[in-house]
Amino acid sequence: MSNQQPNNPLHNITLETILTKLVDHYGWDDLYAQININCFHNDPSIKSSLKFLRRTQWARDKVEALYINTFT
Q: Which domains does the chain have, with CATH numbers?
A: 15-71 (1.10.720.30)
C-alpha span between 45 and 59 (Å, rounded): 16
Query: Which has more pLDDT, 51 or 10?
Result: 51
Q: What is the pLDDT of residues 32-71, one digit of tens each?
A: 999 999 999 999 999 999 999 999 999 999 999 999 999 9
pLDDT on residue 21: 97
End-to-end Cα separation, the chain, in angstroms: 28
pLDDT > 60? residue 2: no
